[in-house]
Structure 1
Amino acid sequence: MRVSIYLFREEVQDFGRLLREFPDGARLPEQRDVIDGVELDCEIWVMPQDPKPPMWAKYVSPIVSVSDLKNSTASVAVFLKVDDRFFAVCFGYAHSLLNGELLEPEFGLRVTANMADPLKVAAMQVRTLSENSRQQRSQTANKTRVAEFDLEVEKEWLRYLKADVTDGVDWASGVGGSQSLSLTTSQGLRDFPEILRALLSEFHSDSYKAKFPYIDNFVPIPKGDPVREKLWGELIAAVENPQGKKVGVACPDDLVGADVAYWKIFGDRKRREPIEELTFENVVAQLGDFGENREKLKIIPLNSADAPIRTKRNLCDYFVFEMDFNGETYALCLGQWFRIASDYVSEINKRVVEIEDVTGSLNLPPWKGGREGDYNKAACKAQGHIHLDARNFMIGGPHQKVEVCDFLTRGYDFVCVKKMEDSATMSHLFSQAAVSADLYSVNAVGQGANAIGYADHVRSLYRAKWGASDGVEANRRMVLAIATDKPGPIAQSLYFFSKVNLVQRAMDLRKSGFKVGIAKIDR
């Protein structure tokens, strides 16, 4: 049997706090007594459902009779107390009965990491902690090691892990989890106190460090930590005045791929129009006094039939935010605050500083205003570079086009230019450079009028202006030119998650045979 197990935080002292609150008029769960002879410190709650027509019935009923078809799903949550800690063992959709605000945020992940055989990993899911939050789930047909998943686990928050257990565990065969733990076991519920005791021991263990050391790159901050109130205050200030702040909104994990028609914000008695596109600007436009109502505001996704797709969540679960405070770097994602491990921050900063700063030698003109395209044209005219901005190389079909760079210098510098607005913009810049370098390294053949190799195309442009490139091509360099009004070197101005991205892309660029440089453009 596969069961879902949740652990409540230490502050929970009795069964009375385990169920969530239900609105007036809602159907309430029913408590059931255990049968005679069962000696478990537990409570059992069921949520029966009346049979009702499926959602699609009204669409097919005009052509076929389906009135006899009804759906019904019953759920049960078994709450158990073991060693003064409370667990929920859930079947069906019983997780919707739980008081989610009192659950341990990484119980399933850490237990899985401790119990997992690192050579028999079945699935992983990661998420970036930035305002351009991206999540990616990968699984393999055959269980294998982490390296086979092609995920950037060191720079992203590991949200989910699934694997076979290590040798020596005879009460479970497979584990997987994030907040909850999915456990495959042949043991009955009467044996669960001992199983839960073993899981609690695994939760407190740090044996995962040898197998999955990057889990600690992002450390959740527990509810009782006094720094949380300061961090919430900083988020409120950023929402009210986002200029220059690293703040945005992103969809929670469990909505990836869901058919969301719109979102609705509520909770403070204010009438609001539905939000069709989930953007930071659209959300902020509806907030009102966010500081006063932060804990009241909820958000719920609905489908085209106006039916909720998920239960309501705190609006703060949708915010992503990054800030520095008292020498530490913090991030908010899915309503959870994280402290970025100081060793990880130091390592990333060290690797960024090692990237050559070519601001002085390239001597790019200041960006005095206007659009990026105007700046690139002006820079090429003033310094004699080959202008390549928006001059795409067709690598495949009509939608597969690649910009080589914004301009090419006589010294064979591929210069890619962007204003430093947010980490999403920086991510686009770094990805553009990495793709271009990769295509150059394999001399990918283009299409149509560009039916020559990518590198040959660049060489022909260079040759037409300056002659043969033989003397300089071996020193080819990809330069990431970033325009900012922040003082100091560009390495000190970048957002932390942009630095993480830069370090990874610099490795990719070097693998493609390019040197790497960064340059500051004064604004």
Structure 2
Amino acid sequence: MFLLKDSITNPEDALDPDKSRTAIQLADNSSVWGTLFVGAQKRGIPDWVGMLNQFLVEPVVDVYSASIAAVLIVWHEERYFALTFGSGRFLLDPRACVRDFGLKVTLNRVDPAKLRSMDSKVYDDLVVSTRKQLSRSGAVANFELDVGRALLRGVTGDANDGEIFKRLTGASALRFTTELSFSQLDDILEEVVAAYEDTTYQANFGWIDNVREVNEERAEELDGLLETALLQPDAGGAYLAPADVVDWTEIDAFNYTGGSSGVEYQDLSLPAYVAIHIGKGQPPDIAALKRHRVKVRRDGQPQWRDEWAVYECIVWETDLNGRKYVLFDGRWFAVDQQYAASVLGYVASISVDPSGLPDGTVGEWEEVYNAAVETADPATYALLDRQLFTPTGGGSQIEFCDLLSSGCELVHVKKRSGSATLSHLFAQGSVAADLFLQDQGLRAAVRQNLTTAGKTGHAALIPPDRPVPNDFEVVYAVLVKPGRRAWPPPLPFFSAVNLMHHATRIQNLGFRVSIRHVRLN
């Protein structure tokens, strides 16, 4: 079952105009008014028949598969609902459906102690989609979901006692089992409407309101604000970040649709892209942003390759009617005001001046910067960048840190080129801190590495036995070119959420933690 948007005033408007169908009205003996739309039946020989027949003594004959699509659109309490049968959901225009309908109904009627599966997405450098299922019903805690970062996309569970539903699955659509018959569809819809308008979910799932993807109408409004912001000298603070994780050492240069093939850019630059099209008298609108591509030329390859849509690479935050909105991964999200304040307040609390760390140079990568820091002050810093250590018992190799200071600072350094590198940075710090505390063999390997490098004073800082966490500070050093806005530059919101996740984990282990922005001049 789908709930159609209020803007749908005619059932035909909810259907894919490119799909043929036949309309049949419900009879008067139905409890609701509605129309069934039946798509064209598709009948054919399965692909496996042709693949196998050439190897069989006798060919398989008269074997066919068939599919049918149907959607029943009914009117109830001033709303249209769509019930799909077979592959009927493909007859619907997805833009006509309310996006969070099924999820809200399910969360308001499911027993929070009898959940079966949960679908979530974590937005950071990549969109990580996860489905977790339990062998038997359980509570949210059994899914080990990071509620601070995960956006809940779908839930399956058993309904509360006394409900007309037995089991519910909710995302955009609602799927449920009930003992009520089709003749009682009006009673079913009555309860569905009540469940959708309920707020019971806030008691057990209130965190889903921290960050929510906006509806199509609000996205269009925000896109309009973005178009205006792009005409400002600094693109209104918006910038480009890779839509995928990339190996920066393999990238020679960037360019954009419409850019001269003889011009190349060493970093992603939204103002540069905008300038290309303003120079042609064609300021880019949203349609152009979604059509135009970021071009990449990789190491040793002469040709440019279209890599991502420009729109997918834009990271921008704006306020509208007192609420924060974030564009990331080509999607708009609304952030709860209190949640936004807590995240940004936490980041501010661990942001400190980068004392002891020198400025860097524009275009300089982390490994060059790290080596220069040690060379300039070898008594203070020991270089551990690109030194990989294997945890006891196996597992992925890790970098203990990039620089170890004589003041017991474990410094992790990344150049800010979008949230992709920041995600890796924050995870590296928390994983290394945990292993430093727990893994005696890892500590011995780090000591040996430092001793071999002639850094005996720094080696002595790594104790054989479990360290006292408060003696050490995990430092996230972010190399960034100053812009026209305040210093230090704010983190993208989802990066700030990620930082809070990893930094609180480090603090819970007992270590001190800070983030320091280093200027690239």
**TM-score w.r.t. structure 1 length?**
0.77
**Any conservation in 1 of the 2:227–2:286 contact (CA below 8 Å)?**
no
- How many angstroms does 1:37 deviate by? 3.2
- How many angstroms does 1:343 deviate by? 1.0
**Any conservation in 2 of the 1:247–1:322 contact (CA below 8 Å)?**
no
- How many angstroms does 1:503 deviate by? 0.3
Structure 1 window deviating more from structure 2 (194-203 vs 420-429): it is 194-203
**Any conservation in 2 of the 1:352–1:503 contact (CA below 8 Å)?**
yes
- How many angstroms does 1:244 deviate by? 5.6
* CA RMSD of superposed structures (Å): 3.7
Q: Distance in 1 between matches of 2:162 and 2:384?
A: 61
Q: Is residue 84 from structure 1 mapped to residue 84 from structure 2 by the alignment?
A: no
1:380-429 CA-to-partner distances (Å, cap 9, x unmatched) read: 11122221111101337998321111111112211110011111110010
Q: Distance in 2 between matches of 1:424 and 1:224?
A: 29
Return closer, same or farther for 1:92/1:319 CA change in 2, 3 Å cut-off.
Answer: farther
**Any conservation in 1 of the 2:118–2:154 contact (CA below 8 Å)?**
yes
- How many angstroms does 1:76 deviate by? 1.8
Q: Is residue 391 from structure 1 mapped to residue 383 from structure 2 by the alignment?
A: no
> Which position in structure 2 is the counterpart of 1:265?
none
> Which position in structure 2 is the counterpart of 1:216?
209
Q: 1:337 aligns with which of 297, 314, 332?
A: 332
Q: 1:62 aligns with which of 54, 60, 63?
A: 54
> Which position in structure 1 is the counterpart of 2:296?
none
- What residue ranges of structure 2 are gaps of 5+ in the alignment? 245-268, 293-308
1:287-319 CA-to-partner distances (Å, cap 9, x unmatched) read: 999637469979xxxxxxxxxxxxxxxx99977
SS in 2 for 1:212: helix
1:456 partner amino acid: A
1:395 partner amino acid: P
**Any conservation in 2 of the 1:132–1:423 contact (CA below 8 Å)?**
no
Q: 1:197 aligns with which of 177, 190, 201?
A: 190
**Any conservation in 2 of the 1:392–1:404 contact (CA below 8 Å)?**
yes
Q: Distance in 2 between matches of 1:242 and 1:60?
A: 60
Q: Distance in 2 between matches of 1:398 and 1:13?
A: 61
SS in 1 for 2:338: helix
Q: Is residue 430 from structure 1 mapped to residue 422 from structure 2 by the alignment?
A: no
1:14-59 CA-to-partner distances (Å, cap 9, x unmatched) read: 323121211xxxx612223445733430101122423212234443
- How many angstroms does 1:69 deviate by? 2.8
1:435 partner amino acid: V
Return closer, same or farther for 1:332/1:57 CA change in 2, 3 Å cut-off.
Answer: farther
Q: Distance in 2 between matches of 1:503 and 1:413?
A: 19
- How many angstroms does 1:356 deviate by? 5.3
- What residue ranges of structure 1 are gaps of 5+ in the alignment? 251-279, 299-314, 445-452
Return closer, same or farther for 1:427/1:130 CA change in 2, 3 Å cut-off.
Answer: closer
Query: How do residues 246-325 of structure 1 correspond to structure 2 at under 5 angstroms?
Result: 246=240, 249=243, 291=285, 293=287, 321-325=315-319
Q: 1:151 aligns with which of 145, 155, 164?
A: 145
> Which position in structure 2 is the counterpart of 1:514?
511
Q: 2:400 aligns with which of 401, 404, 415?
A: 404
Q: Distance in 1 between matches of 2:329 and 2:4?
A: 18
> Which position in structure 1 is the counterpart of 2:15?
19
2:495 partner amino acid: S
2:354 partner amino acid: T
- How many angstroms does 1:236 deviate by? 7.7
- How many angstroms does 1:221 deviate by? 3.8
Structure 1 window deviating more from structure 2 (174-183 vs 217-226): it is 217-226
- How many angstroms does 1:157 deviate by? 1.8
Structure 1 window deviating more from structure 2 (338-347 vs 133-142): it is 133-142
Q: Is residue 505 from structure 1 mapped to residue 515 from structure 2 by the alignment?
A: no
> Which position in structure 2 is the counterpart of 1:181?
174
Identity %: 25
Q: 1:74 aligns with which of 68, 79, 89?
A: 68
**Any conservation in 2 of the 1:53–1:67 contact (CA below 8 Å)?**
no
Q: Distance in 1 between matches of 2:230 and 2:177?
A: 42
How many residues of Structure 1 are paired with residues of Structure 2 in the alignment?
457
1:194-241 CA-to-partner distances (Å, cap 9, x unmatched) read: 211211122122221111111111244445558335246269879x98
Q: 1:139 aligns with which of 109, 133, 136?
A: 133
> Which position in structure 2 is the counterpart of 1:364?
357
2:497 partner amino acid: V
Structure 1 window deviating more from structure 2 (46-55 vs 377-386): it is 46-55
- How many angstroms does 1:468 deviate by? 3.2
Return closer, same or farther for 1:332/1:56 CA change in 2, 3 Å cut-off.
Answer: farther
- How many angstroms does 1:376 deviate by? 0.8
Q: Distance in 2 between matches of 1:88 and 1:196?
A: 11
Return closer, same or farther for 1:322/1:243 CA change in 2, 3 Å cut-off.
Answer: closer
**TM-score w.r.t. structure 2 length?**
0.78
